[in-house]
Structure 1
Amino acid sequence: MSGTLAMDACQDLPPAKADVRILLADDHALLRRGLREFLRDFLVEDGLTPDIVETTSARHAIDHIRTGAWDLVILDLNLPDMPGLEVLRILKSLRPALPVLVVSIYAEEHYSARAIRAGALGYLTKERGPQELRLAVSRILQGGHYLPSPETEHSLDEGPHRNGSSPDTLPATLSDREIEVLQWIAQGRRLTEIAEQLNLSIKTVSTYRSRLLIKLGMRTTAELIRYALDQQLV
């Protein structure tokens, strides 16, 4: 067979069917590229054919979940159009069995237990090394889970509160929704913007802000912003 005929024959072959489909939701282009290339390399090393699709927003991620079948979602909690825990809850409501690995800038002690209770099978901070990411992805694709530390696993085994305390370093009295509102406030968003993003009334968002002030013993929005920055919530 001539070189031209051989090339034509190769071009006629159907594309290889993916063994594993991964949705990568993160709004940082460089990080997405690095994650995609690393994931592709190690999955190929493991003998798999990966199909990795990228998305930069929560709403697009939700659309992908509604219309496609996925083996794993890698989710950033800091997407620009919706708080991460809310995204996670929506994804799990649409596909309860969908495996989700959260890869976030937020410290493990703040969010890992909350994310896992919301349905994630694993949590990693972005400062973790590639081999730890490989281990987390491999475990989840094999039907397991990946917890960042023995302390997180222990806190989950004992339920959402241990002797009245929270499994993370944020006050146990703060709900996930209140933390989300706090994040939006710390980003300088107006209450009307927060209400629109969360599909809530302005009155409801204002109530959440009032609760935050009371629970944290603060008086002003500036104090809330300073607290959120100190806690590395944004």
Structure 2
Amino acid sequence: MAAAVATSRLAAHQVIKVFIVDDHPIVRQGLRQLISQQEDLIVCGEAEGMSQAMQLFFETKPHVMLVDISLENGNGIELVKELIAHDRGLNILVCSMHDEALYAERALRAGAKGYINKDEATDRLIEAVRRVASGQIFLSDEMTHRFLSRQVGKGEVAPPGPMESLSDRELEVFEQIGHGMKTRQIAERLHLSPKTVETYRENIKRKLNLANSVELTQHAVQWVLENT
């Protein structure tokens, strides 16, 4: 159904309108230049965070939203959920430096059509944008193999690790802890109550088998250094 909606949208527009959401101005500039070089693609808008992205989304009506995970005032996975809640047929491609093995499935569950790492070659990014614009799914060959192997129950697929047991919100809180934020700061950034953040912290410690807040902070800082 979503693919049909996407196709019908593009039938009336030969040029694919792309909206970029990334909290780094230099990255947005690079993506804008790359996309603008393609005859069938055009950048219709850009934003650095969730609130700005939601506001401009309704004004620009893009065919594809290109969304990073870490944003100026929020999280890309939560933005995907919010966008899909307003438009289930929207085509979203998550483009991030974060580990695809940890985030790709979360992005698809949230409603995105694909995930691509920023380390990929530029031609792969353009391919991903075009494929997602047509309503198709885009993942790396490795992630596609993992999904197919899991579906058919064959092949050597690594079992989920402790990090994969975290919910989207728990992972988001965990990352903020790794950036040195305290409970109240995290609550303000994520628009949650301090009590809710404390609940997430306790859940994270339990799932990752961490004894106390000191271990939680150390583990989170190390994870951020290795993955962001």
Give the percent of matched residue pairs that are identical in Structure 1 and Structure 2: 30
Alignment of 1:126-145 (within 5 A): 126-145=118-137
Alignment of 1:1-234 (within 5 A): 19-42=15-38, 44=39, 48=40, 50-152=42-144, 154-155=146-147, 158=150, 169-231=161-223, 232-234=226-228
Task: Point out where structure 1 has 5 or more consecutive residues left out of the alignment.
Answer: 1-16
Structure having the higher helix fraction is 2
Task: Point out where structure 2 has 5 or more consecutive residues left out of the alignment.
Answer: 1-12
Higher Rg of the two aligned structures: 1
Deviation at 1:201, TM superposition (A): 1.5
- Aligned partner of 1:105: which letter? M
- Larger relative contact order (C-alpha < 8 A, sep ≥ 6)? 2
Q: Note closer, same or farther for the CA distance 1:57–1:151 as it changes in structure 2 (3 Å cut).
A: closer
Question: Is contact 1:76-1:84 (8 Å) kept?
Answer: yes
Q: Note closer, same or farther for the CA distance 1:39–1:169 as it changes in structure 2 (3 Å cut).
A: farther
Secondary structure in 2 matching 1:102: strand
TM-score using structure 2 length: 0.81
Deviation at 1:189, TM superposition (A): 1.5
Deviation at 1:168, TM superposition (A): 5.6
Deviation at 1:152, TM superposition (A): 4.2
Matched residues in 2 for 1:222 and 1:82: separation?
Answer: 25
Matched residues in 2 for 1:120 and 1:105: separation?
Answer: 16
TM-score using structure 1 length: 0.79
Superposed structure 1 runs of 4+ greater than 4 Å apart = 156-159, 165-170
Matched residues in 2 for 1:167 and 1:70: separation?
Answer: 37
Encode CA deviations 1:27-66: one digit per residue, 9 max, x unaligned: 2122111111111112x1xxx3624312112210011123
CA-based RMSD of the aligned residues comes to 2.5
